[in-house]
Amino acid sequence: MTSRTLRMRPRRAAVFSLHTSPLEQPGTGDAGGMNVYIAQTSRRLAELGTEVEIFTRATSSDVPPIAELAPGVLVRNVVAGPFEGLDKNDLPSQMCAFAAGALRVEARHEPGYYDLVHSHYWLSGQVGWLARERWGVPLVHTAHTLAKVKNANLAEGDSPEPRVRVLGEEQVVDQADMLVANTEFEATDLIDRYEADPDAVATIPPGVDLEAFTPGSTAAARAELGAPADALVLAFIGRIQPLKAPDVLLRAAAELLRRRPELRARLVVLVVGGPSGSGLERPRALHQLAVDLGVEDVVRFLPPRGGQELAQVYRAADVVAVPSHNESFGLVALEAQACGTPVVAAAVGGLPVAVRDGVSGLLVDGHRTEQWADALSSVVLDRALRDRLASHAREHAATFSWARTTESLLEAYAQAKLAFNRSLRIEEVTA
């Protein structure tokens, strides 16, 4: 950490996560890698001396107004709209109510209570833009996903992101003092598709919890999940929606059994997660697809899980599939590799960074069933290849850590403060 970073480290940061809370279990609804990102970086910011207050929308009357995530990290559940019955597409109508709640909290303190705002996702970025103006503090924004990128890589049958989101993202990109991109690919998208100032974009890869996700006994993990010790285990972990493409794994499994019918007695396909996004419209669609493909006997649907339960799923698998149509990074891929499990992933978004092709896993161009069946079977059936990939998986994952991510965030915060001060001086000169 540089001396400048230490000097300009914020005493207290307001983190906006309007549409999902870091207290929610990733893998269903709108909870995913962003929730993990916010929780992990907030904890470490607090450990380094920056208090964090996370503002999120209350989705139940049972949640308290304030909850402690960790020492130095508070979650403020802001009442904005009805507790239930709103999905992410309804939330633009609640941005004013959410902003009013956040501003009301700040108004109860002395001016200058928050030193910086860090917004996550475009909805929060819109509120962060207002807070920047009202509080006179820098705005740092992390998009996590971008509408223009998602619309360019839509899954078949999925709905494009609306125009209101595209416009909202363009505004936030224009107003933020610093934009945090997960990879150079995302940074390029911000610059080329959204005309972001290259000097205002910091590339900071997410991390992985290398203490929670570690290699362990495959036999013990399979016994815990009720899978045979000699099974061939393919796993998908994540939200069940077209964007994440769990159907690609099921179709590849069906193709694998068509080629090698004798594998049916050993094949186990784990699908861990819950319906999300457009997948909520047909929550049983993936179950029905398994029936239609004739693989319902080998597919096991499990609810979302975290901590050691999730680590055991990774350890039980011979390979974890990440067939998404778009991923800003792909934390699932990193967590699997940290457990020593190879990954077969789509070569999209940040996944070529999260997975070292041919070293810690395999990347697949496109989503054709035959290609995925080839890649998955090569890892599952070739013990030498699987062992070689597994031996490098943990090594690759170890190059990422939340501690490194958080230190880089503090540097980005310092850059945002400098940019914000420059903008104030320009305004004074031109006034």
Residue positions forming the annotated binding site for 1D-myo-inositol 3-phosphate: 19, 30-35, 88, 121, 145, 165
For 307-359, the DSSP string reads HHHHHHHHHH-SEEEE--S--SS-HHHHHHHHTT--EEEES-TTHHHHS-BTT
Annotated binding site: 19, 25-26, 30-35, 88, 121, 145, 165, 239, 244, 305, 314-315, 317, 327, 335, 341
Q: Are 80 and 107 in contact (CB under 8 A)?
A: no
Question: Could you write out the three-class secondary structure of 208-266?
Answer: CCCCCCCCCCHHHHHHHHCCCCCCEEEEEECCECHHHCHHHHHHHHHHHHHHCHHHHHC
| CA-derived radius of gyration, the chain | 22
Q: Are 312 and 225 in contact (CB under 8 A)?
A: yes
Q: Let me know if 375 is exposed, middle or buried by CB neighbors in 10 A (0-12, 13-18, 19+).
A: buried
Residues paired with residue 54 on neighbouring β-strands, in sequence order:
15, 75
Write phi, then psi, for 422 (nearest 5 degrees): -65, -40
Residue 362's contacts (CB-CB under 8 Å, 6 or more residues apart) are: 342, 343, 344, 345, 355, 375, 378, 379, 389
Q: Are 243 and 150 in contact (CB under 8 A)?
A: yes
Annotated binding site for Mg(2+): 314-315, 317, 341
Residues paired with residue 320 on neighbouring β-strands, in sequence order:
235, 343
Closest CA to 129 of 162, 93, 99: 99
Annotated binding site for UDP-N-acetyl-alpha-D-glucosamine: 25-26, 33, 239, 244, 305, 327, 335
- In eight-state DSSP terms, residue 183 is S
